[in-house]
Amino acid sequence: MDSLTRTLPASWFCSEPLYQLERKGVFQKSWHLLGPVTRFQDRSKKVKYEIAQTTLIVENRSPESDGIGKDGIVVYAEDQSIEIKSHFTPSGLLFATLSTKAPDFDDYFTGLEDLINKVDFSKLPHRRSISYEGKFNWKTMIDGFQECLHCQYTHPTFTAQYPPTTYLVTNHVNFSRHLSDPSKTTTSDGLFLYFFPICTLNVYGGGMSSFRTCPSTKPGVARMEFDYYHAGTDEEFEKYYKFVRQVALEDFELCERAQMNLESGVYGEGILNPIKENGVAFYQGRVKEMVYRQHEEDQKERAEMERMEDKCSGQEVNSVEVPVK
């Protein structure tokens, strides 16, 4: 039993001071998916993202054209004092950081481009985006995404097409790949990608969607942001949209109930299934590792500041002239 992976304690889903460590140690040192190139083709609109209280703006400054291209698309922080990094994959996905503290893209997502470059993300036009708050910690939603044990009883319409008995999660460097049927090599249906810490990209049901679970300053509140992409008619899109929204709403209700149990003490800590919940163990392990590292850095910085203050105080005392009687 000691060798099995335990979940994060409930306190990690309810603590404001711990979230401040996550903000510095996780979010400001990670890469975040903003969307495929088709999300940013409207030259008249700036697309805003607020992630962990940092606002990013994406703007397409290229001349109007009939083609889909990434030339002229720029990303910058609304606060001009904040420097960030951005990266377009050859397949057409835009990622950005919240600071320059994040490692290089290839070091953060080692091996990701080898996988996603098999897919052309410029084919599906952006159709709709929605956003709303949920009464749960950002990790509560990621817990649910990173496993499919709950799918059979929570998502009956989804599991009718994507049986959970064959569902598989493989973990890589800061991302996970979900396959509804590992025997199929296609990436056109039943492909689900998780980008640590809060972003997903999902190809199923005839279209593509992505979501971000953005943390607020309140540990028990997160903002869900969804983007939907589809190449069919309006009628075909609405049919797809109805299907995927049903799955999202089922997860939403489950997360709010789970957060209530976390905050009330009904659930404290548990054991993760090493096969069916390996995705949860993977991402929670990364959170714990990065939070611990940030806490250690903060302690060292605090100790150094105290040392400098003591040194300055000592110099002030030594510089005071003692009056001669």
The whole-number pLDDT of residue 188 equals 63
Q: Which residues contact 204 (CB under 8 A, 6 or more apart)?
A: 161, 162, 180, 189, 190, 191, 192, 244
Q: How far is CA 318 from CA 227, 309, 310, 313, 324, in A?
A: 64, 14, 12, 9, 16
> With 0-12 CB in 10 A as exposed, 13-18 as middle and 19+ as buried, what is 172?
middle
SS3 labels along 266-323: CCCCCECCCCCCHHHHHHHHHHHHHHHHHHHHHHHHHHHHHHHHHHHHHHHHHHCCCC
Label residue 17 by pLDDT band (50, 70, 90).
very high
Q: Which amino acid is at 209?
A: S
Query: Which has more pLDDT, 60 or 2?
Result: 60
> What are residue 97's DSSP bridge partners?
31
Sign of CA dihedral 124, 125, 126, 128: negative
What average pLDDT does this structure show over 37-44? 94
d(CA 43, CA 223): 26
Of 61, 64, 65, 60, the residue nearest 37 (C-alpha): 60
Structure-model confidence comparison of residues 164 and 217, the more confident one:
217
Question: 1-10, 260-269, 312-321: lowest mean pLDDT where?
Answer: 312-321
Q: What pLDDT is attached to residue 268? A: 86
How far apart (Å, rounded) are the C-alpha atoms in residues 189 and 284? 27
Indicate the Cα dihedral angle 104, 107, 109, 111, nearest 10°: 130
Q: Mean pLDDT over all residues of the chain?
A: 90
Which residue ranges form the domains of the chain, and what is each CATH number?
10-28+111-292 (3.90.380.10)
Sheet bearing 93-97, strands edge to edge? 31-36, 93-97, 86-88
Do you know the residue count of the chain?
325
pLDDT of residue 324: 40
Q: CA triplet 31, 33, 38: central angle to 5 degrees?
A: 145
- pLDDT, average across residues 179-192: 70
Tell me if 164 sits within 8 A of 148, measured CB to CB.
yes
Residue 155 has a pLDDT of: 78
Closest of 88, 117, 94 to residue 47, by C-alpha:
94
- φ, ψ at 246 (rounded to 5°): -60, -45
In what side-by-side order are the strands of the sheet with 73-77? 47-51, 54-60, 73-77
pLDDT of 183 = 67
Q: How confident is the model at residue 2 (pLDDT cuts 50, 70, 90)?
A: low
Residue of 223 and 119 predicted with greater confidence? 223
pLDDT surpasses 70 at 50: yes
What does the pLDDT average to over 290-317? 85
Please state, in angstroms and as integers, the Cα–Cα distance from residue 66 to each residue in 159, 183, 220, 234, following that order.
39, 39, 44, 21
Instruction: Return the closest-CA partner of residue 53 out of 83, 78, 80.
Output: 78
Q: Is the pLDDT of residue 229 over 50?
A: yes
Is 90 exceeded by the pLDDT of residue 4? Answer: no
pLDDT above 50 for 244: yes
**Averaged pLDDT, 199-206:** 92
Percent of the chain with pLDDT over 70: 93
Mean pLDDT in residue range 126-155 = 91
Order of strands, edge to edge, in the sheet holding 191-195? 126-134, 222-229, 207-215, 199-204, 191-195, 175-179, 168-171
Q: What is the DSSP letter of 29?
A: G
- Residue 150 is predicted with a pLDDT of 77
pLDDT at position 320 is 38
| Residues 97-134 pLDDT 10s | 999 999 999 999 999 999 998 888 889 999 999 999 99
Q: Both tokens of residue 249? A: 């709403």
What is the per-residue pLDDT across 265-288, written as a single tens digit (0 to 9) for each? Answer: 998 899 999 999 999 999 999 999
